[in-house]
Each structure stands twice: as structure tokens, then as C-alpha cells.
Structure 1
Amino acid sequence: MDPRSEVVIRQHEYLSGRILLVNAPTDDLLSNLDKDIEPIVWTWNFNEFQYFQNQQANVHFGVDLPESTFDQAIVFVPKSKELLNYVLHNVVSRLNAGASIFLVGEKKGGVERAAKQLLPFGSALKLDSARHCQMWQMTVEKSVIAKSLADWAQEYKVPTPNGDLTICALPGVFSQKSLDIGTAVLLPYLSQVTSGKIADFGCGAGVISAYLAKLNPKNRIFAMDVDAFALESTRMTFAKNNLVTEQLEVKAVTGIEDAPLFLHAIVSNPPFHQGIKTDYNASENLCKTARRHLKSGGELWVVANRFLNYPILIEQNFGQCTTKADQQGFKVLFANTQKKS
């Protein structure tokens, strides 16, 4: 049992009615709640969505709240301060004055900092602090009106050979405020990517997807991510730049195994975080199994931190791996499915 869930169970006497659980741990919390409590789960992580579906939970995946009404909410602190602001604003917009929002998180995950973000909406009280976790209760004192999703997006420009792109990035999305160094190192090489069906694995705000679409209107882009906010950001980026929507297919995935087959190329600045934890599984699986999703002669393009062992994994599975660039701490790696000569 996640220690954050244990805190909630210890304070179960504060809980009643229909409760919205936001960003909840994937454990046995739901089955440990009192029978008169009706939990509704909201997650933007596709892996977690599938976990709760398998538990037969009432679960909603997306950037918006479920349409169901609820009496209270338990918010498990996300990594991003901006994302927590988005969550709190939207949850408060659906609750009446006097209702409770509980905030739960680990000390190393910034729960004490996060608790200060409750104060614009009402008074907050620390209920519990144990096993490096805290639980706070905030009583809603002021009503707010939910803002449109576009109001939460940050925008920045990225130059391409065919003119600037405006990137739209929602709260919590990787590199929300400016272009990250790894992607910046990769972008000049995208003109070398073979055209056709191309997957952008870990699409984030859609920088790579939009760049490839702008380079060649005949490219068909499969933008894939585990995060609903990333997928929605990519849609917004395409719309903002008047890119042809028929070029884009947005797909929630658990990993590269959910990618289409017979791709001409896979391009990725692969993810290595799950919440606040570092997790290289998705990116290592990309290096190990991308080949089976590519056509004969299909290409893999990956940008990654210089210290990671991706070149070895790619070489083991493709027979070769070429370093196209090595700068600013990042390597651009290339392989294709043609046999070694």
C-alpha cells in the first residue's frame, strides 16, 4: 500500500459521500474505503487509467474532470505546481462552499509547498503527518468559474525551415515554458527523416510532430504519449499552426508496444519520468522493440542524455547505431532496419 493511501485510510472519518480521487496511487486504496463512500477516479495517465479500469473502478481519463457530481475531493499532489493549480481551480469550480478538498503527498514531493496553493480557495488544516507523507484539509470558502483550457496553455516559438511554429503546452507537460535542450539538438536532423508514416513517441507538446508535419505536408504523424495533457497540447499546437488535422493521429499509449506497425520512422525524445520518480522502462523498451514496428528500411531517431546506454540497446536490436550529433550533453542516435552490409 502506498504510504499516501495509508494516510487517507487513517483519516477515513473525514470522508463521506461521492469522492473524486485525483491522481490516485495504483494500489488497493479503493477497496479499503468504507462501503458508504462512492469513489470516482480522475487520471491523465493512460497506464493508471488501465489499472483502475481493470479494478472495475469508476475512472475517467482526460484533461477535464469527470461529468459526475461529487461531494468531496482527494488530490494527490502532482509533480507540476502549474498542474496542481489547474486541478484545484477546476475541482473548486465544481464544489459548493463548505465542501472539503483533501491534499495528500510526500514531503519529498513538495506537499508542504503544495498546501500553500490551497490558500486562495479557503482555509487549510494539516490533518496528518507520518511516514514522510502529509494530508491537508481545505474547506472551500470562495467559488470560482472554470477557465477555458486554452487559458492554461503556455506558448513559445520554434523556428523551422518553413517558418516558425507556435507551441502550445498545457500544465504539467514536459518543457512547458520553452524548448528543451534535447529536442533543440534533434530538430536540425528532422529534415533527414524519411517521409511517410512517422510515430512521435512521447510527443509532449507536439514540437517534433508539428515540425515534421510542417516540413512535409505528406507526412502522416502518429503522436503518442501516456499523458492526456500532452496529447491535448499536441492537438492545440497543430490547430494553432493551421496544420492539416488529417496529418495527425493522436494516440494514448502505455508504451511503444501500442504503436502502429509498418512505420517509415519512429522519432523520439523519450520520456524517463513517471510522476516524481525516474523510470527508464518506456525509453529502454523503445530501443529494444522499435524495430518490430518499422517497415524494411524504416528508421529510428532518438535524442537522449549522453550518459544513457541507449546506443548499446539500439545496436543489440538493429545491428548498428549511428551517433549523428553529440552536443550540450545529448546524443542524436540513428538506426534503420536494413541488414548490416
Structure 2
Amino acid sequence: MAISNINQLLIRNIDGISAATPLFVNIVNDGFIAEYLTHHTTAKITCYHTNFADYKLSQMSENNQVTSHFCVEYKAQVKHDLVIINFPKSKAEFGFTLAMLAESMTEDATVIIVGENKGGIKSADKLSKNYLNFCNKVDAARHCLLYVGQFQSDLPKFELDEFYKYYSVTVGDNQLKIAALPGVFSQNGLDVGTDVLLENLPQSIKGKVLDFGCGAGVIAACIGKLFPGTKLTLVDVSALALQSAKTTLALNGLNGESLASDSLSDVKERYDFVISNPPFHQGVKTHYAATEQFLTKIKQHLSTHGCITIVANSFLKYPPIMEKAIGTTKTLAIKKGFAVYQCFT
């Protein structure tokens, strides 16, 4: 794997970021961890990931000096004297991350923030004012920036519940309450694509249902209310999304299984219905491969006469992929720039 521009900038400054117990936040294991240990041989590294795919990659280091975690809320077992944060695509998630990590750091811990110019990193100074004493730009290379800061003392205790945003969705005679943490798709309200999909759900849904790329759990919650008795499974690559989806189900008196998976990597069962607004953005770049892989592989997770219904931007050429991989595909609706496609095994 080629070393990312972000990690190349970190390597360029590696001699100056020595630490005994560093914490790497959403730093991709593309060779940087090994390089860090080459320069700082006694370091005990902790990797915290909110992305399941990156977490699985970090587990491959096979080094007893590296510990990896995938979770929504990180709590340190040992205080960290350095944290390196990959600036998230969501600015709200950046504040969430700083608020959460403060109590896991030593008093004089160094905070390093790194990210791509086009990913919003230039706003790090402004966005960190409530959490850091200072946030100074110290280097720029490979279209990336690196900032150094230090946490303020006596920051409030982190409370996960304070970072949820809530909104309502009406489906049929039901009004559902949706909970979403920072960084989760459509945190501030129902997106147009999902709205179009909910208008075109199968008339009858029963048995085992998979909500792929569940986000805050809107689709699964609506199905659970409209079709009681369905067995819901919610899949996402994001720890923040999965926690939001669990909260959404609980708020609406519903039950379901939440499953972390890199696309379909950890999905083992077969489902009677797959309903999805599949993601096509990854990081700051438009990225279609994950959805195309999902459509190519989903048939092996559909039961006999199983049904898949998805919504996507109407310009995306998904029907030919579905036709080839699954079967005859119908276009149920085209509305507001989105299309709903459906096919049966």
C-alpha cells in the first residue's frame, strides 16, 4: 500500500514527535506505524479508529507494541503524552473528538492535527478554540497541513449524549425520532435520497431485513415500525453510525442487530430483504467502489426469492451492475435527482 500524503507529512516530522504512549486517531496503517517504531523504538502505540476498515488494517501490524480499538467512545487505560489526529471530513466530528480525548491525555500532552488542504484542515485553529490553548501551523507538504497544539486544563467531562442531534421522520401513521452523532450521514435531518426510498419501499416486508450502510438507522427504524415482526440487521463501517443507529432503535422501541463491516466483509447470513441508501463518499473524495462491490457480492446474502431495493443518484450507472450480479432490475421511481432500483433473486 502506498503511503498517504498525510502520513508522508508525518514521516517528514517524525523525529520531532517522540512519545512514550502515543495515541493515533484514525491514522491509516499504510507503513507509518512501522516507520514510527523504527525511529521511536520503545513507544507503546494505541490506535483508535471509528472506521472499521481502517481498524482491521491496523490490527495487521502484528506488533506487541501496537494496540488497536474500534469504538465510538475512546477511554484510555494509560494516559497518552501525544495524540495525532487525522482531521475528519466532518467539522462537527473534530470537536467531538477533541472533547472526548482530553481526559485521556497527560497534562502536557502534545496534540498534532494533520489533514489534506481540501478536507477542511485550514479551519483546525478556529474549530479547536474551545479545547486547545493554541493550535499552530508548523508544516505543509503534499497538499497537507500539520498543526501542533495543547489541551486546555479543566475541560468539562465528556458526555456522549450531549453530541447527539435529533430530528423526526414521519412514515405512515408513525412519527420516529432519529438520533445522530457528528460525522454520521445526514446528521441534521432526513436526506432527499432516503426520503425517496421510503416512499418506494416494498409493499410487504417480512423475515430478515438488512439495512446496509445504515447511518443513523432511519431505514431500519421505519421498516421496524411499518412491518412489526421483521428481524432487523444494521450494517455500517462507522462506529459513530452504529451507535447512532442503536440509539435510534431504542428511542422508537425497536430491536435489531448492529454489525460493523467493511462493505460485506463481516456479513455472514442471508436476508429476505436488503434495503439501502448505499454510501458513495469516502473521506473527502467521491468514491463508488464500495457500493459497486456491495452490489456485486450481495446476491450470496439474499435468500431464495430475496429482494433488494436501493436508492442512488440517478446519474450513477448501477442498474447494469445489478442486472449482471443479481437479476432483472426495475426502476421504481426517479425523483429529485434520485432513482430507486429493485430486483429479486
Q: TM-score range by the shorter chain?
A: over 0.9
Residue 224, structure 1, aligned to residue 235, structure 2: yes
Residue 47, structure 1, aligned to residue 53, structure 2: yes
Match in the other structure for 2:71: 62
Residue 6, structure 1, aligned to residue 12, structure 2: no
SS at match of 1:158: strand
Distance in 2 separating the partners of 1:214 and 1:28: 46
Letter in 1 for 2:43: I
Match in the other structure for 2:96: 86
TM-score scaled by length of structure 2? 0.93
Residue 29, structure 1, aligned to residue 32, structure 2: yes
Q: In the alignment, is the contact (CA less than 8 A) between 2:76 and 2:104 conserved in 1?
A: no
Bigger CA drift: 317-326 or 89-98? 89-98
C-alpha distance after superposition, 1:150-195 (max 9, x if no partner): 1101000000114100000011000000100000001022252531
Deviation at 1:260, TM superposition (A): 3.6
Bigger CA drift: 39-48 or 86-95? 86-95
Q: In the alignment, is the contact (CA less than 8 A) between 1:289 and 1:317 conserved in 2?
A: yes
Match in the other structure for 1:233: 244
Q: In the alignment, is the contact (CA less than 8 A) between 1:100 and 1:138 conserved in 2?
A: yes
Gaps (5+ residues) in structure 2? none
C-alpha distance after superposition, 1:253-272 (max 9, x if no partner): 11135334331111110011
Change (3 A) 1:141 1:262: closer
Question: Which stretches of structure 1, 4 residues or more, deviate above 4 A after TM superposition?
Answer: none
Distance in 2 separating the partners of 1:158 and 1:75: 34
C-alpha distance after superposition, 1:15-64 (max 9, x if no partner): 32111110102311111112132211000111111101111231100111
Among 172, 179, 183, which residue is 1:172 paired with?
Answer: 183
Deviation at 1:134, TM superposition (A): 1.2
Match runs of 1:280-295 below 5 Å: 280-295=288-303
Deviation at 1:275, TM superposition (A): 1.7
Letter in 2 for 1:5: N
Match in the other structure for 2:275: 267
Change (3 A) 1:138 1:197: same
Distance in 2 separating the partners of 1:232 and 1:2: 29
Match in the other structure for 2:208: 197
TM-score scaled by length of structure 1? 0.94
C-alpha distance after superposition, 1:203-260 (max 9, x if no partner): 00000010011112200011000001110000000111122x2xx0100011135334
Match in the other structure for 2:44: 38
Aligned length: 334
The root-mean-square deviation of aligned C-alpha atoms, in Å, is: 1.5
Distance in 2 separating the partners of 1:334 and 1:125: 51
- Residue identity over aligned pairs, in percent, reads 34
Match runs of 1:24-173 below 5 Å: 24-33=27-36, 34-56=40-62, 57-69=66-78, 70-120=80-130, 121-173=132-184
Distance in 1 separating the partners of 2:204 and 2:337: 22
